Amino acid sequence: MKVLGIVSEARDLNQCIPATQSISKQIKAYSFGELKEAKQVSLGRMEVLGIVSEARELSQARTAPVMDHSPPFLATYKSLFGGQQAIDTETEVVECCDLPLIDLSRLHDVLEAAQCKQDIVTAASEWGFFQIVSHGIPDGLLARLREEQVKMFRQPFKRKTSEKLLDFSDDSYRWGTPTATSLKHLSWSEAFHVPLSSSNKPARSSTIRCVIEELSLAMAQLATQLVDTLAEGFGRDGTYMKENCTRNMCYLRLNRYPPCPIPAQVFGLVPHTDSDFLTILCQDEVIGLQLKKGGRWFTVRPNPNTLVINIGDLFQAWSNGLYKSVEHRVMSNPHLERFSVAYFMCPSNETVIESSAQPAIYRKFSFGEYRQQVQQDVRRMGHKVGLTRFLA
């Protein structure tokens, strides 16, 4: 493994993936298209892992129906390969961490509520990330969403790019990073971006639309509860958020990270902070999410039984830096596909973000202005600059 530079991956796999998910079992989930694309670069890796015969067998199974659902990353971005690497898993030692765990049922216990609120405030200030249980989103609903999400991504790639699937808007399906000019800006992932404004009135009803509708209502309620607590933490109330972050301003992103034959070279999702107030993330059991704390990257130990909450840029500005919008990224994985769903709590474009603290770290700005600046930076420089552009 050392020769192939996959020691750390093997360590991660050993530490963080449930034993029941053997690599050989997972590889059966690969489509022919993925294997075909991965074959050139990854047969060596597969050989070392003792799964080469299965890989060959699968890649040669031409009689099986071909469901080519993974995007053609290698072919499309070939001009970026062979140059500078985005990441170096050989030199970078990344430890696993457990996010602060908060049981939200304590908010309803008179003896526990104050301490629970304090724990949320502390986690948002020190980590910018925490995980929650007893959050009120039914497990069955999350499971149904995952099932529908998998079906959406299993559609042939051509269909995902060329058709308006299930009433999602035309540009809902996204993959890779069209603006990437180097590997470090490329994300090896695909996503359906679903503005919740359009989920209210589906032209025709489908299971996924109904599940999204139900989930977005539950997520909005949860987000309001968290925001009330967080606003209270610096002497504000949640009215401002309730008025400006109505559900139709928010959006859901369904993410899929296909197995990547060159994980040492490319991210699943490039390092970024979220441009919203607050994000609620539902991830599966596959390792991938990492966050930066004290200048070092940590791998978040995945726990599919919790929801992960992270603070976005707007909350950092509104709280005058009390809460941290922390840089995070997703590592690509050579063997396993990974799914996640993120709910982004956003205000209307006209909403003005202004801290009432003095001196204010950031000048006041509207969300529309912020969004435009982020898009411009990504277009011009390949990456987001974020809040540092808005220092007072």
Ligand X SMILES: O=C(O)CCC(=O)C(=O)O
Q: Is the peptide bond before 359 cis (omega within 30 degrees of 0)?
A: yes
Nearer to ligand X among residue 89 and residue 283 (C-beta): 283
For residue 377, give both structure tokens.
Answer: 């930076």
Instruction: Enumerate the active-site residues.
Output: 338
Distance CA 308, CA 324 (A): 15
Token pair for residue 364? Answer: 């006041």
Residue 269 near ligand X by CB under 6 A: yes
SS3 7: helix
Rule CB under 6 A: choose which of 281, 331, 336, 353 binds ligand X.
281
- For 41, list phi and psi in degrees, rounded to 5: -95, -25
Give the binding-site size for ligand X (rule: CB under 6 A): 11
Minimum distance, C-beta of residue 384 to ligand X, in the bound complex (Å): 11
253 binds ligand X (CB under 6 A): yes
**Nearest to ligand X of 149, 199 (CB atom):** 149
Q: How far is the CB of 336 from ligand X (least distance, A)?
A: 13
Quick one: 183 or 281, whose CB is closer to ligand X? Answer: 281
Q: Which of residues 29-88 bind ligand X (CB under 6 A)?
A: none
Nearer of residues 123 and 281 to ligand X, judged by Cβ? 281
Tokens of 323: 């809460």
Among 51, 107, 219, 330, binds ligand X (CB under 6 A): 330
Smallest distance, ligand X to C-beta of residue 253, A: 5
Closer of 213 and 285 to ligand X (Cβ): 285
CA nearest 96: which of 288, 325, 262?
288
Q: How far is CA 254 from the centre of its chain?
A: 8
| 231-238: Cβ within 8 A, 24+ apart | 232/117, 233/117, 233/120, 233/121, 233/124, 233/319, 233/322, 233/323, 234/319, 234/320, 234/322, 234/357, 236/318, 236/356
Binding flag, residue 283, ligand X (CB under 6 A): yes
Q: What is the nearest approach in angstroms of ligand X to the Cβ of residue 342?
A: 4
What part of residues 299-328 is at the interface with ligand X (CB under 6 A)?
Answer: 328
Residue closest to ligand X (Cβ): 340
- Label the pairing between strands 289-293 and 296-300: antiparallel
Amino acid identity of residue 372, one-letter, is Q
Closer CB to ligand X, residue 283 or residue 306? 283
Among 228, 274, 284, 337, binds ligand X (CB under 6 A): 274
Judged by CB under 6 A, the stretch of 60-68, 100-108, 165-173, 281-289 that binds ligand X is: 281-289
Site for ligand X contains 289 (CB under 6 A): yes
Q: How many CA atoms lie within 13 A of 369 on its CB side?
A: 12
**Is 255 among the residues that bind ligand X (CB under 6 A)?**
yes
- What gap in Å lies between CA 116 and CA 111, rounded to an integer? 10
Q: Binders of ligand X among 332-371, rule CB under 6 A?
A: 340, 342
Q: Are 220 and 238 in contact (CB under 8 A)?
A: no
Binding site for ligand X (CB under 6 A): 253, 255, 269, 274, 281, 283, 289, 328, 330, 340, 342
